[in-house]
Structure formats: C-alpha cells, structure tokens
A and B are shown apart, each in its own frame.
Chain A
Amino acid sequence: MSTKLYASAAQALAGLCRDGMTVAAGGFGLCGVPLDLIVALRDSQARNLTVIGNNVGCDEHGMWLVLANGQIRKVILSYAGDNKILERAFMNQEIEIEFNPQGTLAERLRAGGAGIPAFFTRTGYGTLIAEGKEARQFANPDGSSDWYIMETGLTADVSLVKAWKADAAGNLVYRKTARNFNPMIAAAGRITIAEVEELVPVGEIDPDQVHTPGIFVDRIVVSTRQPKHIERPTTRPRTAGEPV
C-alpha cells in the first residue's frame, strides 16, 4: 500500500535531488520554514540550484545553509535583506537574483500550481522589473484604464513546505503567520514534501478546516525542530494594573 509518510527528512528527499533542479521553499523570515528539509537539501550536495522563496533564509538559518554551501546558482525572491552572504554573493556576481514584488511572487506560484502560464498585474509597471515584459492597457470599471505587465507562472521540481498538522492523506493545517507562501508552494511543486509538527490520525482534521488538500502533498516528515527560533523577539512592558 502506498504511503506518504517518511521517517526522516533525508529519506523524504532521497532520489529527488539532482544538480540544476529548481526548489521552492515556504516561509517568511524564519516563520513557517521547513528547516529539517533544508538541512537535508544541503546534505544532498545537489548543486547549481535555482531556489524560489520569499527570502533565502537569514544569517545562519534556513536556506542560508544551502547558500553558504555554494549550492545555489539563482534565487527568485522578494527580499534579500538580513542575509549578508547573499548580498555579498550578488555584489560579487557569484549568484543571480531575480527580484519579484512579494505579491507578484505569491501570484506567480499560485498561477504555476494552477496551470496558468501567465497573468497581467499593475504591480511594477514603469519600474525596472517591467523591463522586457509585455505591457498592456486594460479598462477599469469606471471607464479609465491602467497599464499592466505580464508575469509568468512558477513551478518547482521539488517544493518544501512547513505545516503545523498533517494526516497521512497529506491534508495540511498551518498555524498563524507560518502559513505565508506554503499553500501556493505546495501546489507549485511537481513533488511536494511537507515537514509537519504533528502527524494526526486520518479523520482527526475537520475537512472544513484543511488549508492544503492532500492532493498537493506527496511526502510527509515529522519535524525535529523545537523550540522554534525567533528572528526579532519584541515585547511590551507590563503596566501596573494589567492582568498577568
């Protein structure tokens, strides 16, 4: 009987990694990042990778490990800050970066996963990122019109996502802002692997509460990462009289 369950991140990635492949990974900052799967990707030593994600890790965490290991040829992202070796590699022309507006990146992944090859958006019209892209005018409901640029859908050979709960059918539930890019990246992968905090029995997740239906998930591994790292811990002081 077929199963989606794997005993470790390395086993879940076994047989999938090859030089020159495209990998998409979920996460925003360090929130909702499949950290075990990324370590397994580093250990695979696959090179010349194209990596798609909002940001490619931050110093010493997440996809930064794969970057520091010299495995990445190109990144497709919206934000390269908080990652000194990425900035340095880009300045030294050791790596190619394709900057995307964050919403364009999310929509390119959504489109790719849904079989939509391209779409038009107003975002980026008249800027550097519009160069070389088809531009068209479309009418607004009020009769005026705006210029839009064509953006293409994105897919990946392997997608790595992070979820809170999963069942053996591959249904995923995310937690709070750890959802971010994970649902679109799950759909955009030819093979999608989910790293999850908790595996629950089939039937325990209310079908109405499933965020990513199991059809988008091929392999599942339980994460070993606890407690989770916080990039910018920020608190407020308790004021007198407030309940503790």
Chain B
Amino acid sequence: MAWNREQMAERAAKELRDGYYVNLGIGIPTLVANLVPPGMTVTLQSENGLLGIGPFPYEGEMDPDLINAGKQTITDLPGSSYFSSADSFAMIRGGHIQLSILGGMEVAQNGDLANWMVPGKMIKGMGGAMDLVAGVPRVVVVMEHNDKSGAAKFRKACTLPLTGKGVVDLLITEIAVFDLDRKGLRAPLLVELAPGVGLDEVRTRTEAEFTLAPHLS
C-alpha cells in the first residue's frame, strides 16, 4: 500500500535532528510540525518573521498579527522571537536554517526542483522557495509521485521553470524515497519502498534514472 499524506509526513519527520532549526513548506510538509519525536528539540521557522512556531490557537484566541507563511493564524512559544523579512531571509540565505521540507511539482535526477509556476496556467510566484533551496544546506521534497494525468514528476530533466538548480537532497513520494546527489555526480539512489510497493511499479511510474541502494538490490 502506498503511503498516505500523514505517512509521507511521518517519513519526512525522520529527517529531523535534535537542535535543528527547520522551515516547513505548505501542504504535507506542514504536517511534520505535529510529528517531532518526544525528547527532541526542533525549532520551526516561519519566513514571514517568527522563530518558534506554536500550535494553532484555540477558538476565540486568534491574533490577526500572528500568522504563518500560509496566512493561517498560529501561536508563539516561550523562547520564540519575531523579526523582519530581511532578518528572516538572513537566517535562510545565510545557511542558519538546517533543514527545509517543501513540496514540488517536478524533481530531476540531478537535484533540480520546479515548484513555482506553470507557464500560461499558474503564476502564483515563488514566495520564499528559491531562497530556501539556495540557502538551506539540506532540502527534502515531499510530493506525489505522478501528476493528475499520470505523468512522472521525478524526471530526467525538469520541463517546468526551475526553483533551483541542483538543490534536492531527498525526495519522498507516496511510493518511494530517493537519495539525490546535488552535484549530479551519481544517479539517485532508491533507498526505500512503501510497504507492498514493488520495484516494477516504481520503475513504471518514474522517468528519472536511478540505482538501488544495496539493501534493495
């Protein structure tokens, strides 16, 4: 059985390490906030100007001046800090955030990522995504393995405009996990299969060339 959204988030949560400062993108990556293992200290950053994101507020306690990058009302925590967008992106572009988990529309086998526009169709803009993938040392992409028409989203090369060139370290989909080399010096390694998913299915649904981790070959 392929992983569901929650299980994909659980897999992404395994990338957290004690003491990390982490930025989570919108969608499945946001679910990782609830999956920090007990006993581990992880500080979440919201690029609109908060370090130390707390849970959603209770009914009646929403503060219009306190939102996350997805514009949802949130709370702060003891030890949180507020700052400007310039300071926020100094954290991101200066390499101070250790891990970025975000969504994707296409990933290429050389680590290229596309997730900000579909020419002629969707023009929302990149927001902070280009800064995150350029500045954060470890980038994890969580996305569906195929698009709505069934086309592979993990490709030999991206067809959509790039968010970053050679920026993805790990790709998590509902059927598999791939370890990528940003420098493109080796092919991606297939490191995990979702329970009950076979190698043939992954091969059929993937355009990118990949090799098998030793325990899978």
A80-B124 CB under 8 A given contacts A230-B73, A231-B71: yes
Encoded as 1 (CB less than 8 Å from any A CB) or 0, chain B from 151 to 172 comes to 0000000000111111000000
| Contacts of A206-229 to chain B: CB distance below 8 A | 211, 227-229
A99-B48 CB under 8 A given contacts A181-B84, A230-B64, A233-B62: no
Count of residues in A whose CB is under 8 Å from the partner chain: 60
| Contacts of A94-128 to chain B: CB distance below 8 A | 97, 99, 101-107, 109-110, 121-128
The answer to whether the Cβ of A179 comes within 8 Å of any Cβ in the partner chain is yes
| CB–CB A28/B73 < 8 A | no
B48 CB contacts on chain A under 8 angstroms:
28-29, 31, 177, 180
The answer to whether the Cβ of B72 comes within 8 Å of any Cβ in the partner chain is yes
C-alpha spacing A55/B67, complex, angstroms: 15
Most B Cβ at <10 Å: residue of A30, A79, A123: A123
The answer to whether the Cβ of B27 comes within 8 Å of any Cβ in the partner chain is no
C-alpha spacing A90/B92, complex, angstroms: 30
Most B Cβ at <10 Å: residue of A91, A229, A236: A236
| Contacts of A36-50 to chain B: CB distance below 8 A | none
C-alpha spacing A102/B70, complex, angstroms: 14
Instruction: Select one of B47, B59, B84, B123 contacting A102, CB under 8 A.
Output: B47
Instruction: Select one of B46, B70, B73, B84 contacting A235, CB under 8 A.
Output: B73
A234-B124 CB under 8 A given contacts A122-B135, A123-B134: no
Encoded as 1 (CB less than 8 Å from any A CB) or 0, chain B from 47 to 64 comes to 111100001111101111
The answer to whether the Cβ of B201 comes within 8 Å of any Cβ in the partner chain is no
C-alpha spacing A92/B208, complex, angstroms: 36
The answer to whether the Cβ of A54 comes within 8 Å of any Cβ in the partner chain is yes
The answer to whether the Cβ of A14 comes within 8 Å of any Cβ in the partner chain is no
Residues of A at the B interface (CB closer than 8 Å) are: 28-32, 54-55, 77-82, 87, 90-91, 97, 99, 101-107, 109-110, 121-129, 164, 174-184, 211, 227-236, 238
In the A-B complex, the 7 residue pairs with the smallest Cβ-Cβ separation, listed nearest first, are A103-B89, A126-B165, A103-B131, A81-B124, A228-B64, A101-B130, A234-B72
